[in-house]
């Protein structure tokens, strides 16, 4: 840490203190996701092409495995706390799907014990939420259920065992340095996360793995890599790689969506009326007056609507570029863009709902391991 | 806590800071084990009759259950860290046997996950130690295997689940107030202990339970009772009762046996030669000279040999009384007592070894739950 800089804690459970992605990259030794990185990635997805994935750890070991057709895994966990997901989770699923499409052995787990340890949610309620909503939602967003291994933490003895075994390898001060505090609920949740991430190697054999996450989850990745190294002699773990996506901004233009202000974010699912209302009230890169906008052009770089186009709503790069330049030139006005966004979002949402219903029928046939 | 008193932490994992049983009783709100208590206990065992059990929590709920023939349980855990146990553990087993004989539903669990989280011992090694030594040793010391439910923590999903669920109900500062520090290994170990203690009620139905322990284990009992109360609305737990025995003193006359000085304690098993050597060198309540001893009498109150007679080697109260008074009168000399102790201890040990061998044959037929 440079002299005079205050220490930043990334808190995977709540308050976000990251003001600056660059600062985070430097402070935590992340590797920036550059044009060079992008060139090495086969069929990059939208989030990669547009550098919504803005940094990574050890992605090269995954690219090498993909290139040489060696086994590797990709994994993510469902936090089954309510029958809703947000657009950050959607990006995780898209990135998981990317690696699945590239041949990753794919794990999707339900973090029911973590939901109990951090939010006091009963295992029964978590199970209901996961089966009725989250797993179908992840399938609706593109995960191939036939190529995915599912489990509940509370059914997986190896995950629970590994949590206990690894607890011995991290001290109170190391834990505090990563998470800022050491509450028993956090200790359990963090060690469960680590154990999930290492589980495919613990039950199976050591191999590279990649975890797609939001940057707020980096503490878990750091702890996992640290514990993988510390127990290498015993278990042979390969420290897992990770890719990090930026946040989907709050509709009011602030840094990150906040659960306490429902008007500032859109969830999956969301009703058509509230989609319209929320997007219509969104912060844009427009000028104070229409005259000024036509003369000076808009500022897509700070426009929430444009960020939604870029992150979520527009797949074709040419189409996105066109909007960007038309906005910059003053030819596009904010009202038109909002209408466009509402139309695309509503279409996406009804498509999601349709696929969700369909995916629910698949639940009884899924393969849950224990 | 009275003004000016420094706070005492009882550390269940190592260093002992208790100087004074009375002080501990007062500070932690334990109930003294009095003549009144003793009167209410049917067929009290040697440790009760002689107040080696010196305090308790809520023992009355157990005595009530015994009296009214209502179900209650008794439980203890095996720390399978080496194929040895010490005389403190022997007292736990004797007290467990007492409650078993009075009709307690009895649980004996192997704390293999706790051994991993606090001592880094592999599950495989713990399993081996428990099956080859600890379980047969507990049977050799009187536990009836046919009336006992056995399990390994690492095989018991409900214990692992309960640990995660309860982690949410204790804060960092509450944990620190009980244990003095908050390392992840300790958090896991403590929550596992709590979950073991509450497991019979978690899987079954709420009922009174009693945990026989050394006073150094009281932090776990306090945390358990606290968490039982906090989750009463959800699980209906009855806060478990506990009985506490005094330490077996170090052979050099200091307060507690120390693992770092093998000459100061006797383990089970121990070879005849080292029994003789260690007891022969033990600290006694003898006077500087034989003349003085005959004139003034010995001081059995501070004699390690007498304490061994009292705690472990002499069952009949009249026999113990006789030694006490003969020592006080100066009729007994220390050499004779040491010979007597060596003889009794050697006999006990060979008996233990014989029963241990026999108990090993029972292992394949035991009922381990999952």
Q: Among all residues of chain A, which has the CA nearest to that of B180?
A: A172
What three-state secondary structure class fits B76? strand
Whether the predicted pLDDT of B14 surpasses 60: no
- In this prediction the pTM is 0.92
Q: Give the per-residue pLDDT at B22.
A: 82
Mutation choice for B interface testing from A164, A165, A188 by most B CBs within 10 A? A164
The whole-angstrom separation of Cα B188 and Cα B195 is: 10
* pLDDT tens for each residue of B122-155: 999 999 999 999 999 999 999 999 999 999 999 9
Whether the predicted pLDDT of B17 surpasses 70: no
The domain limits of chain B are 21-246, 262-357
Q: Give the Cα-Cα-Cα angle A124, A74, A348 (nearest 5 degrees).
A: 70
Report the gap between the CA of A82 and the closest CA in chain B (Å): 18
According to DSSP, residue B204 is labeled: S
Q: Which residues contact A212 (CB under 8 A, 6 or more apart)?
A: A74, A76, A91, A92, A95, A96, A98, A99, A242, A243, A245
Instruction: Determine, for residues B113 and A164 on separate chains, whether the beta-carbon distance falls below 8 Å.
Output: yes
Domain A262-357: assigned CATH number: 1.10.240.10
Q: Among all residues of chain A, which has the CA nearest to that of B171?
A: A183
Largest CA distance in chain A: 69
User: Measured in whole angstroms, how far is the alpha carbon of residue A291 from the centre of its chain?
Assistant: 40
Confidence of residue B253 (pLDDT cuts 50, 70, 90): confident
B192 contacts on A by Cβ (under 8 Å) = 164
Instruction: Determine, for residues A160 and B155 on separate chains, whether the beta-carbon distance falls below 8 Å.
Output: no
Mutation choice for A interface testing from B172, B184, B188, B220 by most A CBs within 10 A? B184
Whether the predicted pLDDT of B8 surpasses 50: no
What CATH class has A21-246? alpha beta
**Could you say which residues of chain A have pLDDT below 50?**
1-8, 14-18
* pLDDT tens for each residue of B31-44: 999 999 999 999 99
Alpha carbon of B121 to those of B111, B182, B193: distances in Å?
11, 20, 17
B163 contacts on A by Cβ (under 8 Å) = 188
Mutation choice for B interface testing from A183, A184, A193, A370 by most B CBs within 10 A? A184
Whether the predicted pLDDT of B255 surpasses 80: no
**Which residues of B make CB contacts under 8 Å with A?**
113-114, 116-120, 122-123, 153-155, 157, 160-161, 163-165, 167-172, 175, 181-185, 187-189, 191-192, 234
Q: Would you say the ipTM is above 0.85?
A: yes
Tell me the two tokens of residue B280.
């022969």
Q: Which of A163, A165, A183 lies closest to B172 in CB terms?
A: A183
Whether the predicted pLDDT of B9 surpasses 60: no
* pLDDT tens for each residue of B221-249: 999 999 999 999 999 999 999 999 998 88
Q: Give the per-residue pLDDT at A24.
A: 85
Interface size, chain A vs chain B, as Cβ–Cβ contacts under 8 Å: 112
Instruction: Determine, for residues B184 and A172 on separate chains, whether the beta-carbon distance falls below 8 Å.
Output: yes
């Amino acid at each position: 840490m440079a002299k005079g800089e205050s220490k930043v804690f990334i808190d995977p459970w709540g308050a976000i203190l990251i003001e600056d992605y660059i600062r985070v990259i430097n402070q935590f030794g992340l590797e920036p996701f550059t044009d060079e990185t992008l060139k090495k990635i086969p069929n990059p997805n939208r989030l990669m092409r547009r550098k919504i994935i803005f940094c990574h750890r050890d992605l090269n070991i995954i690219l090498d495995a993909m290139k040489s057709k060696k086994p590797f895994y990709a994994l993510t966990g469902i936090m089954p706390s309510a029958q809703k997901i947000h657009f950050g989770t959607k990006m995780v699923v898209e990135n998981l799907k990317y690696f699945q499409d590239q041949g990753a052995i794919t794990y999707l787990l339900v973090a029911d014990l973590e939901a109990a340890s951090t939010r006091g949610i009963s295992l029964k309620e978590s199970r209901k939420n996961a089966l009725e909503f989250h797993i179908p939602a992840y399938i609706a967003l593109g995960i191939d259920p036939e190529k995915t291994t599912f489990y509940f933490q509370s059914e997986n003895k190896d995950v629970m065992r590994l949590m206990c075994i690894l607890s011995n390898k991290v001290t109170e001060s190391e834990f505090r340095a990563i998470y800022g505090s050491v509450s028993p609920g956090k200790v359990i949740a963090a060690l469960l996360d680590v154990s999930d991430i290492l589980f495919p190697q613990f039950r199976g054999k050591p191999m590279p793995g990649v975890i797609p996450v939001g940057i707020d989850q980096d503490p878990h990745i750091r702890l996992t890599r640290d514990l993988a190294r510390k127990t290498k002699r015993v278990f042979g773990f390969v420290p897992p790689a990770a890719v990090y996506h930026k946040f989907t901004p709050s509709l009011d233009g602030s840094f990150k969506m906040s659960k306490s202000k429902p008007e500032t974010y859109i969830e999956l699912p969301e009703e058509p009326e509230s989609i319209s209302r929320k997007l219509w009230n969104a912060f844009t890169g427009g000028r104070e007056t229409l005259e000024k906008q036509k003369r000076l052009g808009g500022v897509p770089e700070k426009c929430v609507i444009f960020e939604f186009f870029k992150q979520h709503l527009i797949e074709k790069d040419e189409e996105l570029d066109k909007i960007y330049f038309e906005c910059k030139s003053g030819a596009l006005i904010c009202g038109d863009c909002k209408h466009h966004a509402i139309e695309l979002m509503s279409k996406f949402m009804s498509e999601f709902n349709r696929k969700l219903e369909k995916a629910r029928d698949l639940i009884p046939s899924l393969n849950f391991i224990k």
